[in-house]
Structure 1
Amino acid sequence: MAILLAVVSGLLVLQLGFVLWNRRYYFPLGDVSDRESIGMEPTSTLSMRTRYISSNQSITGSITKNNTKNYKVSPNNISVLIPARNEERNIGNCLKSLLALPEPPLEILVLDDHSEDRTAAITQELAARSDSRIRLLKGRKLPEEWMGKSHACVQLAEAAKGSWLLFLDADVRLEPEALRAAARAAQAQGRGLISGFPRQETETWMEKLVVSMMMFTILCHLPLKLVSGSRDPRFAAANGAFILIHSDSYLGIGGHTAVRSSLLDDMELIRLAKRSGEPVRLAKIDGISSMRMYRNAAEVWAGYRKNLFPGMGRSLPLLIFVFSVYTALYLLPTAALIGGLAAAVLTGSVMPVVWLGWAAMAWALGALIKLTVDRSSGLPAWYSLLLPASIVLTVLIGLDSARQHYRKKGYEWKGRRYA
């Protein structure tokens, strides 16, 4: 056991080193001073790309081509697009944060996707006070083989006038500097796609334990330098809650029509962008945006259940491998430490000091890795002490996600069931 725990400790040291290296490439949105170091192309190359668009890839024909070569991007070039279904508890705060921006966007479009609550009414009330900046659109009937959110986003893109499209979830709130930072990032990048993860606001224990694992998996396993610096679509991550994309790039990759049947539309969009040679970036946006995705344990479970197994390509061998590695790295040391201490208390026997020492070191390294990620994401330090509980819940949700797939029950979300 001591040898096994020593090996685990060695692997965790390597993991910690990777996280420390990786977070160097997690730049705040709008910080363009290190653009070369994250693999972005020179401005001249980006400007040349503005001449690229394939007319036969247009999904609607209603978004006009915009040349990025000779104009300065400002918030007034950005259309904010919000798909909303049953969002009465979120849409008001989201829109109020947008209306409070010192430099407003070109327009704020909200698509009511057949909501069964007061989403549309709240939007209309705020639109009446917004000098026509807010427009409410009524969603069309959902076609077969389409995901609801992708269908809503396509309709929003059809109606948008901006040269840059900011797809925003209804539970996101922007800080005053957010749109200016987005404009600076758009100006520096020229075209393509930029995404990020807002600061996660959590209240229930399930939220604190599970939601914090999103950035943990990304910073632990995805080389962020290669998100921007490589065309390989395997090195990609995006968050549908905040996607900023140039309208030409959106048309060029086929928009949400190209990912209409995917539960992971955000991931598929950035992969399409990379395959098409568009510049992409995963930016740090937790300082300029926040969100609360879920409100209780049932919502957390349902939300992650619909994403975890599909996020692994619905591959059972991959799921088993990943969860086995997580169990060995983060649960085994905890179990060994607790078991050794319990044995000493209950039986009076003393476990070998080396054995307990390696267990304690491995546990501490796991907590330090989580602490490093959480501090990079603006989360409280004490979350790191509960990493084993977070791992257990993530594993259980992942197994349930696979079970739903193999039972052919599909995944339910906001009153709709998807395969």
Structure 2
Amino acid sequence: MTLLLLLPLLLLTLHTAVNARLLRRPHRGATTGERVAVLLPLRDEAARVTPCLRSLLAQRGVPDLTVHVLDDGSTDGTADVVRALAGDRVRLHTGAPLPAGWLGKPHACHQLAGLAGDVDVLVLVDADVVLAPDAVAGAVDLLRRSGTGLLSPYPKIVGSGRLVQPLLQWSWLTFLPLRGMERSPRPSLAAAGGQWLVLDRAAYLRAGGHAAVRTEILEDIALARAVKRSGCRIALADGSRLATCRMYDSWRELADGYAKSLWASFGSAAGAAAVVVLLLLLYVLPPLALPIAPGTALLAYLLGVTGRLITARATGGRALPDALAHPLSVVLFAVLIARSFHRRRRNRLSWRGRPIRSEIAE
């Protein structure tokens, strides 16, 4: 183990630290006079929508705020839960049947955007997100201060998956130049998290809205790229002080969720294999090499751990002992990637009871 391994690890860890320093954050206590519509697509979310909806009803600092909820063919009484909790304080809509050539979430969001009417800002949230009372106002304020058409404030991830979930934030803090992404017009240089998105409505329409990403598994990243293609800028932000997201309650849920979409994060199976090999060499090989080259291997391992510690501190995650298990996290991530590609080849992709057809996913 030589400088050929230590140098890239050092540079990546320094890059993580720089990104953490530059990471945008919404202000607490912000206000906005803009017309804002919160869009909440729901499909079989009766058991988890209540905290999300209560947090939306508690928003402050946005006098002209409407909340639109779409029941997308739920079979578990989701609409009844919304009515009982919110009454006429939200606008509950019944989703249209899923047309050919569309995936479920893009279609639900497309409908909601059309139902929102003539507003200035669209705020998309998932049912597993709980917002602080000033979260919407803070995010809209940051959207305007950053001069972007799309802002992705990443919430604090809670619940199952402490070994794997932090890799989401770690990956873009480590490998993505945040300010370069904002300045670059290249659509390929884009990232976003669909749990919480804030969009200038004019930029959204110019980009073609969700109709432009109707077949995309990762519709959040595809929408960010569409916004870039239309000539607008995008930005990532740390939203951990203003939002939490409980994506999964068990390892099985996490594995199924990752299987649905992880394959789409890579251009091809060959591209995924190259990424996996690189991650294994950088972050898994060092602890395995401790008996052979203890000094160098320990330093390499500690550089990887340091990157995780920086990420946790910057994004509200738990630093220890999670960061110490970073090599194991990378191994589990590699297994999930392989499982996702395997299920895609077997045409076994589905979510919320809907099969994801390979011909659409291509």
Query: Which blocks of at least 5 consecutive residues in structure 2 are unaligned?
Result: none
Contact 2:152 2:196 in 1 (8 A): yes
1:129-208 matched pairs, under 5 angstroms: 132-161=88-117, 162-189=119-146, 192-202=149-159, 204=160, 207-208=161-162
Q: Give, in whole Å, the separation in 2 of the partners of 1:322 and 1:247.
A: 35
Q: State the shift of 1:7 in Å.
A: 2.7
Q: Give, in whole Å, the separation in 2 of the partners of 1:21 and 1:148.
A: 37
Q: Secondary structure at the match of 2:56?
A: helix
Q: 2:13 aligns with which of 8, 16, 28?
A: 16
Contact 1:75 1:180 in 2 (8 A): no
Q: Secondary structure at the match of 1:108?
A: strand
Q: Secondary structure at the match of 2:76?
A: coil
Cα 1:196–1:187 change in 2 (3 A) is closer
Q: 2:67 aligns with which of 105, 108, 112?
A: 108
| Deviation readout 1:214-254 (Å, 9 max, x if unpaired) | 01111111110022111111211111111111221111111
1:269 corresponds to 2:223: yes
Query: Which blocks of at least 5 consecutive residues in structure 1 are unaligned?
Result: 32-72, 341-350
Contact 2:151 2:235 in 1 (8 A): yes
1:339-378 matched pairs, under 5 angstroms: 340=291, 355-378=293-316
Contact 2:217 2:261 in 1 (8 A): yes
For the aligned residue pairs, the C-alpha RMSD in angstroms reads: 1.8
Could you say which residue in structure 2 is the equivalent of 1:323? Answer: 276
Could you say which residue in structure 2 is the equivalent of 1:391? Answer: 330
Q: Give, in whole Å, the separation in 1 of the partners of 2:34 and 2:145.
A: 16
Contact 1:112 1:138 in 2 (8 A): yes
Could you say which residue in structure 2 is the equivalent of 1:406? Answer: 345
Q: State the shift of 1:165 in Å.
A: 0.6
Letter in 2 for 1:327: L
Contact 2:148 2:235 in 1 (8 A): no
Q: 2:170 aligns with which of 216, 228, 232?
A: 216
Contact 1:210 1:300 in 2 (8 A): no
Contact 2:34 2:121 in 1 (8 A): no
Contact 1:5 1:359 in 2 (8 A): no
Could you say which residue in structure 2 is the equivalent of 1:92? Answer: 50
Q: Give, in whole Å, the separation in 2 of the partners of 1:222 and 1:183.
A: 24
Q: Give, in whole Å, the separation in 2 of the partners of 1:187 and 1:6.
A: 44
Letter in 2 for 1:364: L
Could you say which residue in structure 2 is the equivalent of 1:249? Answer: 203
| Deviation readout 1:261-320 (Å, 9 max, x if unpaired) | 11011111110111111122111111111110011011111111222211102x122111
Q: Give, in whole Å, the separation in 1 of the partners of 2:55 and 2:69.
A: 14
Contact 1:75 1:106 in 2 (8 A): no
1:80 corresponds to 2:28: no
Contact 2:34 2:120 in 1 (8 A): no
Q: Secondary structure at the match of 2:73?
A: coil
Q: State the shift of 1:201 in Å.
A: 0.9
Q: Give, in whole Å, the separation in 1 of the partners of 2:33 and 2:220.
A: 23
| Deviation readout 1:122-144 (Å, 9 max, x if unpaired) | 1001222xxx3311110110011
| Greater Rg over alpha carbons, structure | 1
Contact 1:75 1:179 in 2 (8 A): no
Q: Secondary structure at the match of 2:170?
A: helix
Could you say which residue in structure 2 is the equivalent of 1:123? Answer: 82
Q: Give, in whole Å, the separation in 1 of the partners of 2:241 and 2:26.
A: 9
Q: Give, in whole Å, the separation in 2 of the partners of 1:276 and 1:380.
A: 38
Q: Give, in whole Å, the separation in 2 of the partners of 1:384 and 1:191.
A: 33
Letter in 2 for 1:81: L
- Identical-residue share of aligned pairs (%): 35
Q: State the shift of 1:118 in Å.
A: 2.4
| Deviation readout 1:361-390 (Å, 9 max, x if unpaired) | 111111111111111111111110111111
Q: State the shift of 1:24 in Å.
A: 2.5
Greater Cα offset, 275-284 or 214-223 = 275-284
Q: State the shift of 1:323 in Å.
A: 0.6
Contact 1:5 1:362 in 2 (8 A): no
Letter in 2 for 1:16: T
Could you say which residue in structure 2 is the equivalent of 1:346? Answer: none
Q: Give, in whole Å, the separation in 1 of the partners of 2:144 and 2:172.
A: 26
Q: State the shift of 1:76 in Å.
A: 5.4
Q: State the shift of 1:210 in Å.
A: 1.0
Letter in 1 for 2:126: D
Q: Secondary structure at the match of 2:162?
A: helix
Q: Secondary structure at the match of 2:289?
A: helix
TM-score (norm 2): 0.93
Q: State the shift of 1:9 in Å.
A: 2.0
Q: How many residues align?
A: 353
Q: Secondary structure at the match of 1:399?
A: helix
